[in-house]
């Protein structure tokens, strides 16, 4: 059975002393390409200028489309880093460390994973590459990452999930934070934000 989200709720902040290698192996695949973060920033600005609100949907769809190949690359990389052959074999306590190592090596940035209430996870990064701190936008704008995490985390958990960025460095906030949960949970969070409430109060506790 695949690693379910609820398995990560209790222990995802903990770190294990054994089970991960000290040396970080290289993510090697012909399907993952590297581009500078400036390309991501320019792409968002140009699409926002030309497409308006539709830009967010386009970028999210692009991120979602990348999720399958990213997950396949993760599965191929995982045995060399965590000495397990399948993501389902990962201890929940090692999930944050392993995912952070993978995405950091690809250039996206470091991240942490923690429970957000009873029904969601929070992925937080203080140096996420898609964010542009000097931009001072009015809404969270890491659209590619939102789509990418939706597909990637859905494959990891074995169940469909929705992802919503609720804090963003492009808004001059200290970090980017993405909530991961069931679509109905994220819909509740969206409605709360739309009505002017904070996302924490909308999450089941």
36 falls within a domain: no
Q: What is the CATH number of the domain that holds 170?
A: 3.30.1380
3 falls within a domain: no
Q: What is the pLDDT of residues 93-115, one digit of tens each?
A: 899 999 999 999 999 999 999 99
Q: Tell me which residue range forms the domain holding 167.
A: 60-202
CA distance 201 to 78: 36
134 falls within a domain: yes
Composition of the chain by helix, strand, coil, percent to 5: 50, 10, 40
Count how many domains the chain has. Answer: 1
CA distance 130 to 153: 18
162 falls within a domain: yes
Q: What is the pLDDT of residues 127-176, one digit of tens each?
A: 999 999 988 899 999 999 999 999 999 999 999 999 999 999 999 999 99
20 falls within a domain: no
171 falls within a domain: yes
Q: Is the pLDDT of residue 177 over 50?
A: yes
pLDDT at 131: 97
């Amino acid at each position: 059975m695949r690693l379910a989200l609820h398995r990560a709720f209790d222990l995802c902040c903990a770190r294990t002393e054994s089970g991960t290698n000290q040396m970080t192996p290289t993510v090697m695949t012909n399907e993952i390409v590297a581009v500078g973060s400036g390309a991501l920033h320019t792409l968002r600005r140009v699409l926002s200028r030309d497409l308006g609100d539709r830009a967010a949907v386009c970028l999210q769809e692009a991120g979602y489309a990348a999720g399958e190949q990213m997950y396949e690359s993760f599965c191929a990389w995982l045995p060399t880093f965590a000495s397990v052959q399948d993501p389902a074999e990962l201890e929940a306590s090692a999930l944050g460390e392993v995912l952070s190592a993978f995405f950091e090596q690809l250039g996206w940035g470091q991240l942490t994973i923690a429970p957000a209430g009873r029904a969601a996870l929070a992925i937080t990064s203080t140096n996420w590459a898609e964010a542009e701190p000097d931009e001072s936008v009015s809404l969270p704008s890491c659209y590619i990452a939102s789509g990418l995490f939706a597909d990637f985390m859905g494959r990891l958990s074995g169940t469909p999930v929705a992802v919503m960025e609720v804090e963003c460095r492009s808004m001059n906030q200290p970090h980017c934070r993405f909530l991961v949960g069931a679509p109905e949970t994220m819909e509740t969070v969206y409605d709360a934000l739309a009505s002017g409430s904070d996302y924490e109060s909308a999450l089941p506790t």
